Structure 1
Amino acid sequence: MAIVANFTPDDVTWTHIGNSATLKSGGRLECNDGRANFILNKYGPRGLVKLEFSEDPDYLVKLKAEAKRRYVEFWRRQIYSFNQFNETLKNENKPYTHPDDMMTQKAQELGINLVGPWKTENTSNDVALKAALDNNAALQVQLNKLMEAVGKLQDRQSDVEDRSVGVPEIDWNKVKNSFFFLNRKDLKSYFYKHFEMMKSWPVDLKDEFAKKYEKATGKALNFDNAPEEPKESGKDEE
């Protein structure tokens, strides 16, 4: 048997093999391992976690913190995806898609502006997210310059510590910010477009990208094989 806990503010409704129920905020569900694994695989990104025995006195505090981190990251991705979709509609002179009550509530809770003919107060201090939402074009230009610099470094035959030829040192934090808030569709496109340059990334940065990619797509990432060009599709699912 296993115990699944919901330490997020949201009630989460799950369905498994014909059975459906709602795990209330603050609630716990005791079930067999198969059902627990299914629920965690599908709803873990929303903040559901598995309770296990631990002698660590801070175990529960750490687990709740991890649940909150997943919850916040999940809703940031949803809001970013919604905004990106509405930006596309705007550029195509099409009507905006209106957010539902839940999306509006989460945007206000996280202090993120929703793209559209409405207003939500922005109290966010998350500079990286704001840059991704409001300065996407500038960020793309910056990314292209960074990728060009990475390409120059890749072509050099001298030691990586030799900076004498005038190639600018890469700000890897900016490279990380360029993909950190992308949704599943854009992660695939990013990997396809920048694959060759990404092979020269530091190991820890490649691991960071691989984790986000695998979490978003459910597929393992392999930097040894060139990716296939992603197929066009509609708006990503949650």
Structure 2
Amino acid sequence: MTVFALARAQVQDIVRNPMLLFFFATAVVMGGLLKATMPASARDIMASAVFTATTYFVGWNIPAFTLAEEKEKRQLEALFLTPVRPWQVILVKGVLGLVGSLVFGAFMFLILDQVPRRSLLWLTAYTVLSLFTVGLGVLLGLLVRDTRSLGLGGTPVILLLMTATTLPWALVQPRVWALQAWLPTRPAVELLTAGLTGEAVPVMRNLLVMLAYTALMWLVNARLIRRLSFARN
């Protein structure tokens, strides 16, 4: 099996997976509902929350669920018996997660009827956040044994991160909001909001914080993938 054949097979598995399709549809429906119900004054903030949720619904779920499901059905072990290396398997899943997140992010502009004032900043922020969520999905997919353990162990993590990122902490708990400047939550929503509205935020600091967490996530993934490679040999 070649890498291209693997990618084609993975795409087929994704479009046939009812759970993944459910999460994709949830992101679209959520965007439509917020557009229909939110006042115009709150749409920029809500749009940032929707874009953040989209990276988790799509970017996180693709690698996490495909890895967990393949482990459950023992397909991952069979896949490792082919000439495709473990790192190539993870790379394909990561790329599909990133591409899926970017495609849905672009599609959400149509749903929300939004036009970013700083397009490059929005794209940079959304891409970095997608790399983070995809990396988290890969990490959890490598650690869990099946889809059930992913639901029990992974869902609370995702809900915590999404809640910490999307709730209006600056109004509810200013001290918590100040602390989140150094977590992978506030920098993401600040950058996305700045990309949409054009407001001034500490761009470089926020990007460095997000990149640090993203790099750490993928370094951990690299170690786990290396163990898989040794186990195969």
Normalising by structure 2, we get a TM-score of 0.28
**Higher share in helix:** 2
Larger relative contact order (CA 8 Å, sep ≥ 6): 2
Query: Which structure: larger Rg?
Result: 1
